[in-house]
């Protein structure tokens, strides 16, 4: 059985159920208690669990992420909400030099079961400092899992896995998805990291994406189908680990690939994914791998320019047509 939930409610229900189940799970973040969270993920949590488990923090990402690392080392399971992943840059030392490396430094004696979650990617007129997609930065560092759910079902299943693991997880939510609805399976159904999902079957080209861009890819695939082009759409779900096998199997069938990301083009996740395809299926490609990305500029504030800086369905359609030499 399944129920229809918003992305927000899938996260909220999963967090609440896991806090009921495991008293070691505690929440930290700015405005998550009294204010109930900027995006209402933690609405009513303070009343239900109290201030020892729902901790309103000062405006100091370095401080409260560092505190959460220490809590995790001592046996708790902290979940840190960053108001936006842009603010996580203030805590980069704790995330990259401590959380990611402590199990390695300790020879496996110390685990850091820490989840850091919050909105990643472009907002709506939030300008350059609040609209960055930081997945490639965090996916570069060994010791971190990097998760980018696209659907409410992803949000629930991947969060369950994150909350029960023993390593730090960078959990990237796109704010534009919080109101998106979808079927969520009932019961306890964690989704393993590194397991991509084929959202649409096709034989002409493989479109690969994650997070909000999956929805653009699906829309583009439906538009392409009206012209006789059947695209396969893959939702990666996680960037570290990356499900290389599913990608390569698909491209071996379709012989063409388009990779879609919201972030800037240079040194992005799409470049790594394209390299994986070249390494695993080069001899079977009938066209170069195409990348659809955001514009290589700081995000403008003006809405018309912001829209120009983001990828759109038409960009995916055009990239697919290039792989088929129709443009």
Is the pLDDT at 325 greater than 90? The verdict is: no
264-277 pLDDT tens trace: 999 999 999 999 99
Q: How many CB atoms lie within 10 A of CB 301?
A: 12
Is 61 considered catalytic here? yes
Contact criterion met (CB below 8 Å) for 53 and 26? yes
Nearest to 30 by CA among 116, 106, 121: 116
Banded pLDDT at 201 (limits 50, 70, 90): very high
CA 155 to chain centre: 9
Q: Return all residues near 20 (Cβ < 8 A) that are at least 6 apart.
A: none
Q: Return all residues near 310 (Cβ < 8 A) that are at least 6 apart.
A: 122, 262, 294, 295
Q: What is the bridge-based pairing of β-strands 257-264 and 181-185?
A: unpaired
Q: Please give the model's pTM, rounded to 2 decimal places.
A: 0.96
Radius of gyration of the chain (CA): 20
Catalytic residue (choose from 17, 130, 230, 312): 130
Q: Which residues pair with 206 in a beta bridge?
A: 232, 257
Domains along the chain?
2-185 (3.40.50.970), 197-323 (3.40.50.920)
- 125-129, 202-206, 247-251: lowest mean pLDDT where? 125-129
Query: Residues 104, 106, 111, 114: what is their CA dihedral angle, to the nearest 10 degrees?
Result: -60
Phi/psi of residue 304, nearest 5 degrees: -65, -35
Is 312 considered catalytic here? no
**How many percent of the chain have pLDDT more than 90?**
97
Q: Which residues pair with 232 in a beta bridge?
A: 206
Q: DSSP code of 303?
A: H
Catalytic residue (choose from 18, 30, 61, 135): 61
247-263 pLDDT tens trace: 999 999 999 999 999 99
User: Which residue is associated with the tokens 């000062």?
Assistant: 58
Instruction: Identify the pLDDT of residue 2.
Output: 87
Contact criterion met (CB below 8 Å) for 61 and 88? yes
DSSP H helical segments within the chain, as ranges? Answer: 7-21, 45-49, 61-73, 92, 102-105, 135-139, 152-164, 213-225, 244-254, 269-281, 303-309, 313-323
11-52 pLDDT tens trace: 999 999 999 999 999 999 999 999 999 999 999 999 999 999
């Amino acid at each position: 059985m399944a129920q229809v939930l918003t992305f927000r409610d899938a996260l909220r229900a999963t967090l609440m159920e896991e806090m009921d189940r495991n008293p070691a799970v505690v929440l930290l973040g700015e405005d998550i208690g009294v204010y109930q969270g900027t995006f209402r993920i933690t609405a009513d949590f303070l009343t239900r669990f109290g201030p020892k488990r729902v901790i309103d923090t000062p405006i100091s990402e370095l401080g409260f992420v560092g505190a959460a690392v220490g809590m995790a080392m001592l046996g708790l399971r902290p979940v840190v909400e960053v108001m936006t992943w842009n603010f996580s840059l203030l805590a980069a030392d704790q995330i990259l030099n401590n959380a990611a490396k402590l199990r390695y430094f300790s020879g496996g004696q110390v685990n850091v079961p820490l989840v850091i979650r919050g909105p990643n990617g472009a907002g709506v007129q939030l300008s350059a400092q609040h609209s960055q997609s930081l997945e490639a930065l965090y996916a570069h560092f060994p010791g971190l899992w990097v998760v980018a759910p696209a659907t409410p079902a992803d949000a629930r299943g991947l969060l369950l896995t994150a909350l029960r693991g023993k390593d730090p997880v960078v959990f990237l939510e796109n704010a534009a998805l919080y109101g998106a609805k979808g079927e969520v399976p009932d019961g306890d159904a964690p989704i393993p990291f590194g397991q991509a999902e084929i959202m649409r079957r096709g034989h002409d080209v493989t479109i690969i994406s994650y997070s909000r861009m999956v929805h653009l890819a699906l829309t583009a695939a439906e538009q392409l189908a009206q012209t006789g082009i059947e695209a396969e759409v893959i939702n990666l779900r996680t960037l570290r680990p990356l499900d290389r096998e599913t990608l390569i199997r698909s491209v071996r069938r379709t012989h063409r690939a388009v990779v879609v990301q919201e972030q800037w083009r240079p040194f992005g996740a799409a470049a790594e994914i394209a390299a994986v395809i070249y390494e695993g299926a080069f001899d079977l490609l009938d066209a170069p791998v195409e990348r659809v990305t955001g514009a290589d500029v700081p995000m403008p504030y003006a809405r018309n320019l912001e829209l120009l800086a983001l990828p759109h369905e038409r960009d995916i359609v055009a990239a697919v047509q290039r792989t088929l030499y129709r443009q």
